Amino acid sequence: MEQDITDNEQPASEPQNNKCVNCGSSWIEKEFSTPLCADCRKAFIKFPIPPLIKIFSVIIIALVLWGMTRLPDNISMGVHEIRGEKAFEDRQYLTAQKEFKSVVDKLPDYTDAKINFALASFYTQDYESFIEQVNELEGKMIEDQSLYNKLSDAMTRMEKYVPSDSFLVLRKTYADSAGNIPLAEMQKFVSANPDDEYAAIFLASDLFNNKNYKSSDSILSDVLKKDPDHFAALSLMAALKRESDQFDESIAYCDKILSLNKESVYAMSSKCRTFLKLHKDEDALKLAMEADKIIKDDSYNLATLALIYHFANKTKERDEAMAKVKKDTSATRYLEFANDVISNKIKFR
């Protein structure tokens, strides 16, 4: 028979809510859901936070705030680096150089960015920037083995673009005030130093200037057999083939340079001059304007534009381009050639 439960009786399993759950006092504050006496509730409310927790919290907040202020810069540097890597992969080395320079300017101790900036500078033939970055990398730990190998290769190749100690002695001994070395002495030196590619290019350039295209071609061909990607040899070959009326070969050498660096303004401008020789004036103008977008007012390209405008009878545009070239004191040779063509001193076509 079931037993009734009266109002004065409770089942054994029902919790007792008339005592403080902390100290057992019967003086609880009934208006709250958790049974606590006034003293215990006050103690819990004022529970002290340990000093170490407070310090740690302050540090975390400070780091978060610092990170928020640095976030735009960090994102920007990341974008520049990604763009630089993409441009490098696409062989657009001028763009890569600009992007990595932006990173290095903000993060001068970022080794990978410095290496990529140096490599891009090498391919744009900005040897001053290349050497500067290499010097700053001296003694630094390079963890990326691939980047290390690429930098080592570029440093080895760089030796071909600077005069050797023995060549400097030759120049000091024989060069005149204009830096010219007697042709016979140059030929003798190159014959005795067949691995000195800088001296070989120097001699080939002298022979080219004296219109001895056959001998110049022979020397340049030997250099390119050893190093098919030699920038200076390819550039001189493009001009030599143009002056020898071997226009297809001239364009092929320009295209070879552009396959190594798609943003080589010099190669683009050289190709424009070959187009002019072929009377492809519209093609020449289009390509020269593309080059101008890559490097605004490059002196060699400006001189080329002056020639294009000259043959198109656009005197105003020609003279404006020539005026800009005159402002560049290092572009005397470009200016003289353009003037000689314009004045019919040189028959260009």
Nearest to 321 by CA among 294, 339, 333: 339
Domain count, the chain: 2
Whether residue 92 lies inside any domain: the answer is yes
Range of the domain at 140: 71-161
pTM, whole model, 2 decimals? 0.76
Contact call for residues 223 and 236 (beta carbons, < 8 A): no
Contacts of 14 by beta carbon, 8 Å cutoff, 6+ apart: none
In a domain, 42, yes or no: no
Last residue of a domain, one of 161, 195, 211: 161
- 288 shares its domain with 139: no
237 and 116 share one domain: no
Dist. CA 239–CA 219, nearest whole Å: 14
Same domain, 115 and 195: no
Query: Rounded to the nearest 5 degrees, what angle is found at the Cα of 267, between the Cα atoms of 239 and 258?
Result: 125
Q: Torsions phi, psi of 28, nearest 5?
A: -90, 160
Give residue 54's pLDDT.
Answer: 58
Nearest to 318 by CA among 341, 295, 286: 341
Does residue 289 fall inside a structural domain?
A: yes
pLDDT at res. 6: 40
CATH number at residue 146: 1.25.40
Same domain, 178 and 199: yes
Alpha helices per DSSP H over 8-110: 38-45, 51-89, 93-106
Do 193 and 297 have their domain in common? yes
84 within some domain: yes
Question: Cα separation of 57 and 54, whole Å?
Answer: 5
Q: Helices marked H in the chain — which ranges?
A: 38-45, 51-89, 93-106, 111-123, 127-137, 145-158, 165-174, 183-192, 197-209, 213-226, 231-243, 247-260, 265-277, 281-294, 299-311, 315-326, 332-342
Are 200 and 149 found together in one domain? no
Asked if residue 23 is part of any domain, the answer here is: no
Identify whether residues 124 and 144 lie together within a single domain.
Answer: yes
Residues 245 and 330 in one domain: yes
Q: Are residues 184 and 300 in the same domain?
A: yes
| CA dist., res. 133 & res. 105, Å (int) | 12
Pair (198, 274) in one structural domain: yes
Q: Is 256 a domain residue?
A: yes
In this predicted structure, what is the pLDDT of residue 49? 60
In a structure prediction context, what are the per-residue pLDDT tens digits for the chain, which is 349 residues long? Answer: 344 434 444 443 344 567 887 787 777 777 777 787 887 877 766 555 666 665 666 666 655 555 544 544 556 677 889 999 999 999 999 999 999 999 999 889 899 999 999 999 999 999 999 999 999 998 888 888 999 999 999 999 998 999 999 999 999 999 887 788 999 999 999 999 999 999 999 999 999 999 999 999 999 999 999 999 999 999 999 999 999 999 999 999 999 999 999 999 999 999 999 999 999 999 999 999 999 999 999 999 999 999 999 999 999 999 999 999 999 999 999 999 999 999 999 999 8
Compute φ and ψ for 37, nearest 5 degrees: -75, 165
User: Which one of 136, 161, 186 terminates a domain?
Assistant: 161
Q: State which of 107, 131, 161 marks the end of a domain.
A: 161
Locate 299 and state its tokens: 């002196």
Residues 195 and 311 in one domain: yes
Tell me, yes or no, whether 193 and 211 share the same domain: yes
Is position 199 within any domain?
yes
